[in-house]
Amino acid sequence: MLLIDKQTQFIKTLSAELGFSYCGIAKAGPLDDDARKLEQWLNKGMHGKMLYMENHFELRVDPQKLVPGAKSVITLLKNYYPSEQQSPSAPSIAKYAWGNDYHDTIRSQMHIFFDRAKKEIGNFNGRGFVDSAPVLERAWAIKSGLGWVGKNGNLIHKQSGSFFFIATLIVDIELKYDDPIAKDYCGTCTKCIEACPTDAILENKVIDGSKCISYFTIELKDALISEEMKGKFNDWIFGCDICQDVCPWNRFSKPHEEPAFSPLASVLNFSPQDWEEISLETFNSIFKHSPLKRTKFSGIQRNLKFIQWHDTEKIKADTQL
C-alpha cells in the first residue's frame, strides 16, 4: 500500500510540474451507464453528420479494450482561459482556438509524462488520449473527482470553472483512487439553456450536437449552412463559448500559464474585412499551428459569409419597418 501511495503522489506531482492544473485517478472498468446514454444519444441522431462518433463503440466504454489489463485511468485538466479579449470588431472564435493546437501541446506533454513515470515507477503499459480518440473523458473526470457535468455538457470544476482541456491516460498499474464528487452544483440555474441561441441544450444534461454552433462552424463540412440557422450564430465563425461565458462557475476562471496557448494577434484583432481579404496562402501560413486549420480556409470563409449574410438580411428587414 505504501508503494501505491508513493507512486500515486509521484503521478500527481509530475502532472503539476508539466503544467496541468488538476489530476484525478479512477479505477479502470466498463462504463455501463455511460454506454447506455451514449447509445441512446446516437440513436436519436444528435451527433448529426459526425459519423465517426458511431465508430469503436466498445472502445469508448471499456478502457481495457484500449489497454489490456488496464487498472487505472488518470485524468488531467489543463487550463486554457485567456487573460486577453478579442477586439469588439473581430468575429468571435472560441477561446480554446486562440493559440496553438492543444492536441500537439498536450500530446507532447503526455509523452514526457510517460517517459518520466516509467523511469520512476518502472516499465508499465499505458496510452494517452486527448479529445481525438474513442474515450469518454468527461465520465472519467467525474469518476476521478475532478468535477461534474453541467447542463451545458461541460465538465465543471468547483474551484476553476470549465475552461479546461481534458487528457486521459489509461495504465496497467494500480494506484490510489480519488472519490467522485457526489453532488451536482448546477442546482436550479438555467443560464446556459436560456443563452443558447440554437436551443442545443436540452433537459437532463442532453446536448443536441446537431444544433450546436460549434457543430455548424467546425464539424459540418457542407458547402452551405441550413437557412434554419439564419440569424442564430451571432458573430461566431469558429466554435462557440456562449454557454461557458454565462456559467456562474466560470467567475472563478483564472488565466492560463501555458505559452503555447498565447493568442495569435490575428485571432484577437482581425476584422471581418481582414478575414475577407486573407488569401489561402496567408491563412495556411498564419494558422498552420492553430485549431482553425481543422475547418480549413474554405470553412472559415463559408462561416464568415453566413454570419454577414444574416446580418445584412436583418439590416434590410429593420430598414423596411
* C-alpha grid cell, residue 195: 443563452
Task: Measure CA 243 to chain center.
Answer: 13
Which carries the bigger pLDDT value, residue 37 or residue 28? 28
pLDDT tens digits, one per residue of 206-233: 999 999 999 999 999 998 898 889 899 9
Residue 321 has pLDDT above 60, yes or no: no
* C-alpha grid cell, residue 168: 486521459
Report helix, strand or coil for 201: strand
pLDDT at 309: 52
Report helix, strand or coil for 282: helix
Task: Tell me the C-alpha distance between 252 and 311, whole Å.
Answer: 34
Report CA dihedral (89, 92, 97, 100) to the nearest 10 degrees: -10
pLDDT tens digits, one per residue of 103-123: 999 999 999 999 999 999 999
Domain count, the chain: 1
Task: Measure CA 215 to chain center.
Answer: 12
> CB within 8 A of 246, min separation 6: which ones?
191, 192, 195
Query: Whats the size of the chain, residue-wise?
Result: 321
Closest CA to 214 of 194, 242, 191, 248: 242
* β strands within the chain, DSSP E: 22-27, 72-79, 92-93, 126-129, 148-149, 155-156, 164-171, 236-238
- Segment 3-10 mean pLDDT: 95
The range of the structural domain enclosing residue 214 comes to: 1-321
Report helix, strand or coil for 113: helix
Pick the catalytic residue: 62, 131, 235, 245?
131
Question: What's 157's DSSP letter?
Answer: B
Q: For cell 491563412, name the residue.
A: 283
Mean of the per-residue pLDDT values for the chain? 92
Which carries the bigger pLDDT value, residue 172 or residue 132? 172
Indicate if 131 belongs to the active site: yes
The pTM of this model reads 0.92
Residue 317 has pLDDT above 80, yes or no: no
CB 19 within 8 A of CB 48: no
Q: For cell 433537459, name the residue.
A: 203
Report CA dihedral (233, 239, 243, 249) to the nearest 10 degrees: -150
Task: Tell me the C-alpha distance between 87 and 29, whole Å.
Answer: 46
Per-residue pLDDT band for 60 (boundaries 50, 70, 90) equals confident
